[in-house]
Amino acid sequence: MEVIIKANYEEVCREAAQMVTAALRKKPALVLGLATGKTPRELYRRLVESQEDFQNAMFFNLDEFVGLPPRDPRSFHHYLQEHLMDHIRHDPRKVFFLRGDERDMERYASEYEEKIQDVGGIDIQILGIGRNGHIAFNEPGSSLGSRTRIKTLDAKTIVEYAGIFHSPDEVPRFSITLGIGTVMAARRIILLAAGPEKAEIIHRMVEGPITAEVPGSALQLHPLVHLVIDEDAAAKLARRDYWKWVYSNKWRVGQ
Ligand code: PGA
């Protein structure tokens, strides 16, 4: 795992945007896995600002609330349209965002998994992490080998989303989510985190044991993860100085 500690949230997103645009220039048919939530918003704003050409790129996403159609403003589909897709040059036939309103959700989940494999797998997966350690909607206790499936949301996650649904009772109980095994199959992962509320979970994810109780800790087994975080999110890393040392002495190609 590469831990990159930046001064603030804007710098975190600038770094991630540079990684994505550099990869896109190398491989215009880049397969991108997108995340939602507060954290990647500035990354998407920067990708829009970059005016890069995403016409050949393919897009998948991490998760969706079961029951919400793509046009629902609370859906992750809608979020990604609003924050990214509506503003970048891309081919709509290459966008494969999860739908929450399929009739046979279980079958749809396994077809989604196959679709990712059919296009050759995800090149770059953007991720956030929940305060409870979830990645996508893989709540604590999820199998570390899980694949795309229907997942019951954690009661705490439901409370966190109550704001956009007016009350906890209106928050869907189920999500469709890429599994931890699906995320682990991506060739490269960029996980973003910022703010003091993420400090404890970043410490557990990076420096704690690999456990289903902290789904993000599975990433310790992945060969190419860039964890891009701000100083606040890095505050509880016991080896913060080590990570900074390694990054500032990074081996760069052609060195
Ligand atoms: P956030 O969500 O970016 O809104 O903090 C992260 C997550 O829950 O995965």
- pLDDT-based confidence at residue 254 (cuts at 50, 70, 90): low
**Interval between CA 72 and ligand 1 midpoint (Å):** 19
* H helices present in 170-250, as ranges: 180-184, 199-207, 240-248
- CA 255 to ligand 1 center in whole angstroms: 36
Look at 253 and 169; give whichever has higher pLDDT. 169
Enter the tokens of residue 128. 């956030």
Centroid of chain to Cα 6: 19
- 89 phi and psi, to 5 degrees? -75, 120
**Stated pTM of the model:** 0.96
Examine the pLDDT at 253 and tell me if it is beyond 80: no
Instruction: Report the interhelical angle of 9-26 vs 41-50 (nearest 10°).
Output: 50
pLDDT at 196: 98
Span from the CA of 252 to the centroid of ligand 1 (angstroms): 31
Give the confidence band of 252 by pLDDT, cuts at 50, 70, 90.
confident
- Residue 38 beta carbon below 6 angstroms from any ligand 1 atom: yes
What's the rounded Cα separation, in Å, for the pair 110 and 178? 10
Active site residue 63: yes
Quote the CA–CA distance of 110 and 65 in Å, as a whole number.
Answer: 17
The amino acid that residue 41 corresponds to is R
Which of 22-36, 118-132, 158-172 has the least mean pLDDT? 158-172
